[in-house]
Amino acid sequence: MNLHNTEEEKERVFLVFVNERDEEDELVENELVSLCETAGLEVTGFTRQRVSRTTSATFIGKGKVEEIKMYAKDDKADTVLFDTELSGIQIRNLQEAIGKKVVDRTQLILDIFAQRANTKEGQLQVELAQLSYMMPRLMSVYTKFERQKGGIGLRGPGETKLETDRRMVKDKITKLKREIDHVKGTRDRLREERRKNPYPFATLVGYTSAGKSTLMNTLCKTDLLADKMLFATLDPTTRRIPLEDGYSIFLTDTVGFIRKLPTHLIAAFRATLEEFVHSDFFLHIVDLSHPEWEVQFAAVNETLKKLESEDKPCIIVFNKIDALKDETFTQHLLETHPNSVAISAKEGTGIDNLLTHITDYVKKQLIKFTAVIPYANSEFVEQCYKYGRVINVDYKDDGIYIEAELTPEMHNKISNKLAIC
């Protein structure tokens, strides 16, 4: 797809929806149109086929392919976009039958990510995702003739070229992974450094456009990009949030999720998502003003399962309550979802309550202890100040009496050297 469309020469796309259930129609339509807007495409029209069993050669039935060919021609569309992931063979067959460029949902999302990637790490991750998507599809970019030649002659030019290309892509993928590992190493070291503090790690997780960056800005007075465009955030940002009574947390804003998030993206963004994997707990931000918030909520939970972190403690944050009319509905949700709060990140409503929830969680995480430290080991008192929260300290004849709180990690490190009371 052309990534740099200007107002005058937007790529014209005709959409094909293939969702099975009619109750999903509105969400599916609105979401794909938003994705197209974000990518700078002009939607000319759409059609739909309920696909329960796919016709593997073209994904949809022959008759429908003919119909699309007609529509796309009448609409003067440049491209036909399928709201699903297609195989390379399917794309090629559809292109041959329709006579237009055919792209799938994954390519569209990868395209948006490519436009959004500003940092070195973001760019590496997107490139890795694009190449991983391309790899199994390389075969289908060769013409029928070349493929036949390769097949019959076994070592025809088509096949040789394919193998060279495959090797090149493979080498590039290995190189990208190495570079990403390098960036990841830097991030790991930074995380280790932060771990020395007595502050738990939390991440903001949620569907794209749920309001994660807006909440981060409200809580940390940052100026992160918060926009109605999908996938405004790609790179994680971490800030310390001071809480009452001297408590704090490190909070990280992360990339948003979407229904049917391409697996290549999840794999490529693993380094970024590791911020989530390493966090002690997370806030799941839900856009309650979205008519399909439940589907979005389920899609995020589905993705979290893939990250094998279902057991991680979570505070559910129902956001955008300023855009709701029915307060009793919110009340009902809070009652039926344990550990949840309702806020408006934009207007600041409910933020104090959210902070109280976070502080309660942090308090539960820290280990409280009292100890007598011999004067000869007074550096431990210093460490408690540095890596913990000192509640009381009393310098007596027989030693320093200290009452403090530490994260489990720091407690383990220090406790075997202390005479815990």
Residue among 396, 407, 400 nearest 381 (CA): 400
Q: Give the pairing type, strands 79-82 and 11-17.
A: parallel
Return the residue of 58, 106, 125, 209 that touches ligand GTP, per CB under 6 A. 209
Q: Which is nearer to ligand GTP, 67 or 322 (CB)?
A: 322
Q: Which is nearer to Mg ion, 80 or 234 (CB)?
A: 234
Judged by DSSP in three states, 203 sits in strand
State the CB neighbour count (10 A cutoff) for residue 60. Answer: 23
Q: Could you say whether residue 38 binds ligand GTP (CB under 6 A)?
A: no
Q: Residue 346 binds what, of Mg ion, ligand GTP, none (CB under 5 to 8 Å, by partner type)?
A: ligand GTP
Which contacts of 156-163 are long-range, i.e. CB under 8 A and separated by 24 or more positions? Answer: 162/138
Site for Mg ion, residues 208 to 227, rule: CB under 5 A = 212-213
Return the residue of 214, 296, 340, 383 that touches ligand GTP, per CB under 6 A. 214
**Number of residues in contact with ligand GTP, rule: CB under 6 A?**
23
- How far is 12 from 80, CA to CA, in rounded Å? 9
- How far is 233 from 215, CA to CA, in rounded Å? 13
Return the residue of 32, 36, 68, 232 that touches Mg ion, per CB under 5 A. 232
Q: Could you say whether residue 406 binds ligand GTP (CB under 6 A)?
A: no
Stretch that binds ligand GTP, among 28-36, 220-228, 237-245, 374-382 (CB under 6 A): 220-228
Minimum CB separation from ligand GTP for residue 129, in Å? Answer: 16
Q: Spell 222-246 as b/e; 16+ CB within 10 A means b.
A: eebebeebbbbbbbbbbbebebeee
Q: Residue 322 binds what, of Mg ion, ligand GTP, none (CB under 5 to 8 Å, by partner type)?
A: ligand GTP
Q: Could you say whether residue 72 binds ligand GTP (CB under 6 A)?
A: no
Q: Residue 231 binds what, of Mg ion, ligand GTP, none (CB under 5 to 8 Å, by partner type)?
A: ligand GTP
Return the residue of 38, 132, 218, 233 that touches Mg ion, per CB under 5 A. 233
Return the HEC string of 232-268. CCCCCEEEEEECHHHCEEEEEECCCECCCCCHHHHHH
Q: Could you say whether residue 303 binds ligand GTP (CB under 6 A)?
A: no
Helix, strand, coil share (%) of the chain residues, nearest 5: 50, 20, 30
Residue among 247, 272, 318, 230 nearest 38 (CA): 230
- How far is 317 from 344, CA to CA, in rounded Å? 10
Q: Could you say whether residue 206 binds ligand GTP (CB under 6 A)?
A: yes
Q: Residue 388 binds what, of ligand GTP, Mg ion, none (CB under 5 to 8 Å, by partner type)?
A: none
Q: Which is nearer to ligand GTP, 132 or 344 (CB)?
A: 344
Q: Could you say whether residue 212 binds ligand GTP (CB under 6 A)?
A: yes
Angle between helical axes of 120-134 and 105-116 (0-180°, round to 10)? 160
Binding site for Mg ion (CB under 5 A): 212-213, 232-233
Binding site for ligand GTP (CB under 6 A): 206, 208-214, 226-228, 230-233, 256, 319-320, 322-323, 344-346
